[in-house]
Structure 1
Amino acid sequence: MEPWKYDHSVKNLMLWGKDSLPPPGYEFPMALSYDDFDPPQTDIYNPAVFHYPWAQDAWYAFPSVYRHFPEPPLGPCVNDGLLEIQSAVSRDGVRFQRPDRTPYIPLGVEGTWHAGQMYMGIGMIRRGDRLLQYYIASDVSHSGYRCPKPLHIVDISRVFVAVQLLDRFVGIQAPDEGWLLTPPLRFSGNELELNIDCGATGEALVEIDDANGVPIQGFSLDESDRVRGNHLRKKVSWRNGKTDVSALAEQPIRLRIRMRSAKLYAFQFLAGPTVGRETIKYDM
């Protein structure tokens, strides 16, 4: 590992005065930042990046997003505000995007231990099909403990554990009825599985198209068996229970998934019932 090359032409950012050390400047590559979808006075803290080993080319970050309160005289103290944990994703571990601004772990109700600020720990532990992530939370705002009139403090901070099901970080949801059409991709393997929650009344149908979006005979929506219920690994089948898609491997295809009252979290191609995940390459 080598340090990032320093660019002497970039002027230091003396944010805290000339007698303090400057923070890293713009000579470092930008991995994640606020953008136009964030409100004014928003900072990105504590990225908590993790190379996710249970999916292909998947990096996750769980930054604390800090919305500042007004500074004095409009507010009670300097550098104060609330922090929640959001999620960001990357395919290379360098360029991250936040799919939306929904909190990954939301703030708690005022007066609880989660009501002020939250910071995700690095990494996660897998126990079967459950993922455990540890985070620190406090009922105090960022600088609330040192404000002229400090907020009521239950405890400064505690460590908590968040538990969720495998691969269910974010999903594509169709509250009524909707479609998902993937970019052209190539896969290896012979079966397709979905991580999907259709609940009791929802459903999904799956079609495999060619690169131009034309249904491939034997894999159309009309021939798809309906997917119902809540599944981490639902094998997709077509007419007469057909699950073998190996004839389409290594050629450009697109998946078209029609859903109603359902949420799709992930899909994967498998080499068989006892073999691990296979690869997907996007033709983009």
Structure 2
Amino acid sequence: MFVDQTLIGSLDGSAEMVLHVPHDEGEVFKFDKPWEGLFAGYVTMLYVDGKYMLYYRGMPKAGSDGTTIESTCYAESTDGENWTRPNLGLYEYDGSKDNNIILAQLAPFSHNFCPFYDTNPDADPKQRFKAIAGTKRTELHGFVSPDGIHWTKLQDGPVLTDPKGAYDSQNVAFWSESEKCYVAYYRYFYKGKRTIARATSTDFVHWDEPVYMSYSDTDSLVPANHLYTNQTHPYFRAPHIYIATAARFMPGRRVLTPQQAKEVGVHPSYFNDTADAVFMTTRGGDRYDCTFEQGFVRPGPALGNWVSRTNYPVLNVVPTGDYEMSLYVNQEYGQPTANIHRYSLRLDGFASVQARGEKGSVTTKPLTFTGDQLAINFATSAAGSIQVEIQDAEGNPIPGYTLKDASETIGNAIDRPVRWKEKGYDVSELAGKTVRLKFVLDDADIYAFQFQSAGKKQLANK
């Protein structure tokens, strides 16, 4: 995907990297049960075997971090739009167990309980779901579950400790397919800023020494703004790329007047700041790529989203259609209308290389590949097109794969093979060799590319 600078060698002509705006599909979930309330938050979305699983903190009234007011709740959906709260009968609230609470009376772990589905092939099936939770007082404890609903603590003490760790936020963990280890990203403070640390583990119990993340836009350990939640997770179509839909917090940046705050019903202590979401990536290691400095999800026109600690993205971007993925956002925090909105994007569509007006091109750094065809995720206008040239490591066009040989690719598709006039779709003779790709764009966007194995017979029939 064209979400960072990793493979970009040069941009020429009108070509530029563009961050795309997610489309607000509206409210899909309201925190309107008595045990949920104004301060429901720190939400996680899992997509497992065709089912959407939603986890969040229930907190009907204000209180300090890690009190018995807090609980952990669960809802589920088959389409990502319509949600049910199963009556689990696990914990009592106000004299009844007729609720969807999966963790309660275990302070402070319901403050920021954050689960993941463990894709480690060697994971114990009885521990297929894992979670981390805790505050500075307890540090981060591990939890395990066979089904994502019935949870137990992994051990008495914490699994992850760091003297610099603050943990007073949503701390996240996952199994990394590319790094072959568990990875955690969590809150700490540095030079007065809310920022992010990272640790790794091979067994989820013993963690290596933490590293403290740096940022490409500041070239330092200090982010440009407070990062309240980091929401770092592997992108489901390219798990070697970790997407971070982080909450950018702007303390003291008040927008609402006291009268407006009263009108929207926000808690009196929660309208003196603002927040939105930004987009970062990392591929492991100690650095976030911050190619796009602008807001990713803005507060929008609703006054209730111009208050403290709102517009915080739900952890994980998930597929919601053959051509669509969705990002969910916790909005109108601290208000009776607290809810979750769904935002949609095309698959791989966080960002693109785009050319408008005049032609532009993007040329990759040298790379090697396996497979026998090149497919692209792209969109053109009716008059636009994309052509692809394959060059050698020094940038010389390879005969048969030059721009003159390249057919125009026109349309809008997630996965379209690229063709050359004489070679057809077959690039197998170049597999394993060092090459560069040059994409020439005419009123077009390219979101991603992938080398695939189609097979000789299939290529001959195209």
Q: Is TM (by shorter chain) over 0.5?
A: yes
Aligned to 2:350, what secondary structure does the other structure show? Answer: coil
Find the aligned partners of 1:103 and 1:78 in 2 and give their Cα distance: 21
Is the Cα contact below 8 Å between 2:236 and 2:318 reproduced in 1? no
Compared CA separation, residues 34 and 241, structure 1 to 2 (3 A): closer
User: C-alpha offsets along residues 195-244 of structure 1, whole Å, 9 cap, x if unaligned?
Assistant: 11112222111000000000000000111001112111121001147000
Compared CA separation, residues 34 and 266, structure 1 to 2 (3 A): closer
CA drift at 1:273: 6.9
Find the aligned partners of 2:253 and 2:349 in 1 and give their Cα distance: 36
Structure 2: runs of 5+ lacking an equivalent: 1-141, 143-158, 167-186, 191-196, 198-209, 259-268, 457-462
Find the aligned partners of 2:278 and 2:162 in 1 and give their Cα distance: 30
Matches within 5 A, 1:136-215: 136-138=330-332, 155-176=336-357, 177-215=359-397
Compared CA separation, residues 200 and 81, structure 1 to 2 (3 A): farther
Is the Cα contact below 8 Å between 2:372 and 2:455 reproduced in 1? no
- 1:64 aligned partner: 247
Structure 2 letter corresponding to 1:62: T
Aligned to 2:429, what secondary structure does the other structure show? Answer: helix
- 1:3 aligned partner: 160
CA drift at 1:130: 1.9
Structure 2 letter corresponding to 1:249: A
Select the residue among 92, 97, 119 that pairs with 2:312.
Answer: 119
Find the aligned partners of 1:24 and 1:239 in 2 and give their Cα distance: 56
Find the aligned partners of 1:31 and 1:162 in 2 and give their Cα distance: 28
Compared CA separation, residues 115 and 25, structure 1 to 2 (3 A): closer
CA drift at 1:108: 0.8
- Relative to its length, the structure with more strand (as a share) is 2
Root mean square deviation of aligned Cα: 3.3
- 1:83 aligned partner: 275
- Percent identity reads 23
Matches within 5 A, 1:267-282: 267-272=449-454
Q: Which TM-score applies when normalising by structure 2?
A: 0.47
User: C-alpha offsets along residues 59-102 of structure 1, whole Å, 9 cap, x if unaligned?
Assistant: 1010011233459xxx9989932211111111126522122123
Q: Tell me the number of residue pairs that the alignment of Structure 1 and Structure 2 aligns.
A: 242
Is the Cα contact below 8 Å between 1:205 and 1:224 reproduced in 2? yes
CA drift at 1:42: 2.6
Structure 2 letter corresponding to 1:68: P
User: C-alpha offsets along residues 143-174 of structure 1, whole Å, 9 cap, x if unaligned?
Assistant: xx7xxxxxxx7x55211111222111111111
Compared CA separation, residues 246 and 99, structure 1 to 2 (3 A): same
Matches within 5 A, 1:228-267: 228-240=410-422, 242-267=424-449
